[in-house]
Amino acid sequence: MSERAARVEQPDERGDPLVVVDELRSYYESERLLGGKPVKAVDGVSFEIRRGETLGIVGESGCGKTTLGRTLVRLEEATDGTVRYDGTDVTTLSGTELKRWRKNAQLVFQDPTASLNERQTVGAVIREPLEAHSWGDPHSRRERVYDLLELVGLAPEHYYRYPHQFSGGQKQRIGIARALALEPDFLVLDEPVSALDVSVQAKILNLLSDLQAELDLTYLLIAHDLSVVRHVCDRVGVMYLGKLMELGPSEELFSDPANPYTQSLLSAIPKPDPSAPFQRLPLRGTPPSPRDPPSGCVFSTRCPLKIRPDIEGNHDLSRAQWEAIDRFREVLRERDLADVTFVERLRERLGLSTRFTPIPTVAEELLGDVSFPDSVEAALSRAVDRAAEGEVSAARAELADALGGVCEREQPVRHDVGEGHSSRCHRHLEAYADADDVLEGEDGVGGVLEGL
Residues 6 or more apart from 430 whose CB is under 8 A from it?
none
Give yes or no for a contact between 324 and 377, defined as CB atoms under 8 angstroms apart.
no
Long-range pairs for 164-171: beta carbons < 8 A, 24 or more residues apart = 164/118, 166/122, 167/200, 168/112, 168/113, 168/195, 168/196, 168/197, 168/200, 169/196, 169/197, 169/200, 169/203, 169/204, 171/112, 171/113, 171/116
Residues 425-444 within binding reach of ligand SF4 (CB under 6 A): 425-427
Q: Which of 162, 255, 375, 437: binder of other proteins (CB under 8 A)?
A: 162
Helices (H), 404-441: 406-409, 436-439
Q: Which of 5, 75, 343, 352: binder of other proteins (CB under 8 A)?
A: 75
DSSP codes joined into one string, 375-403: HHHHHHHHHHHHHHTT-HHHHHHHHHHHH
Return the one option of ligand SF4, other proteins, none that residue 222 interacts with (CB less than 5 to 8 A, by type): none
Return the one option of ligand SF4, other proteins, none that residue 156 interacts with (CB less than 5 to 8 A, by type): other proteins
What is the closest distance, in whole angstroms, from the C-beta atom of residue 253 to ligand SF4 in the complex? 15
Strands 218-223 and 54-58, how do they pair?
A: parallel
Strands 235-240 and 243-249, how do they pair?
A: antiparallel
Return the one option of ligand SF4, other proteins, none that residue 73 interacts with (CB less than 5 to 8 A, by type): other proteins
- In the complex with ligand SF4, the residue whose CB is nearer, 261 or 372, is 261
Q: Which helix (H) or strand (E) holds 424?
A: strand 421-424
Q: Segment contacting ligand SF4 (CB under 6 A): 180-188, 268-276, 292-300, 444-452?
A: 292-300
Residues 339-398 within binding reach of ligand SF4 (CB under 6 A): none
What is the closest distance, in whole angstroms, from the C-beta atom of residue 138 to other proteins in the complex? 4
Residues 358-417 within binding reach of other proteins (CB under 8 A): none
What is the closest distance, in whole angstroms, from the C-beta atom of residue 331 to other proteins in the complex? 36
Q: State whether residue 190 is helix, strand or coil.
A: strand
What is the closest distance, in whole angstroms, from the C-beta atom of residue 204 to other proteins in the complex? 8
- In the complex with ligand SF4, the residue whose CB is nearer, 232 or 435, is 435
Return the one option of other proteins, ligand SF4, none that residue 303 interacts with (CB less than 5 to 8 A, by type): ligand SF4
Verify binding: residue 300, ligand SF4, rule CB under 6 A: yes
- In the complex with other proteins, the residue whose CB is nearer, 160 or 282, is 160
CA 286 to chain CA centroid, Å, is 14
Return the one option of ligand SF4, other proteins, none that residue 307 interacts with (CB less than 5 to 8 A, by type): ligand SF4
Residues 180-219, one symbol each (x = binds other proteins by CB under 8 A, - = not), give -xx-----------------x--xx---------------
Residues 103-142, one symbol each (x = binds other proteins by CB under 8 A, - = not), give x--xx-x-x--xxxxxxxx--x---xx-xxxx--xx--xx
Strands 105-108 and 186-190, how do they pair?
A: parallel
Distance set, CA 98 to CA 73, 193, 206 (Å): 10, 29, 31
Verify binding: residue 154, other proteins, rule CB under 8 A: yes
Residues 6 or more apart from 12 whose CB is under 8 A from it?
none
- In the complex with other proteins, the residue whose CB is nearer, 215 or 429, is 215
DSSP state of 91: G
What span, in angstroms and rounded, lies between the C-alpha atoms of 14 and 27? 33
Residues 6 or more apart from 53 whose CB is under 8 A from it?
218, 219, 234, 235
Residues 164-183 within binding reach of other proteins (CB under 8 A): 164-167, 169-170, 173, 175, 178, 181-182
Residues 398-417, one symbol each (x = binds ligand SF4 by CB under 6 A, - = not), give ---------x----x-----
What span, in angstroms and rounded, lies between the C-alpha atoms of 80 and 37? 16
Verify binding: residue 51, ligand SF4, rule CB under 6 A: no
Give the binding site for ligand SF4 (CB under 6 A): 260-261, 297, 299-300, 303, 305-307, 407, 412, 425-427
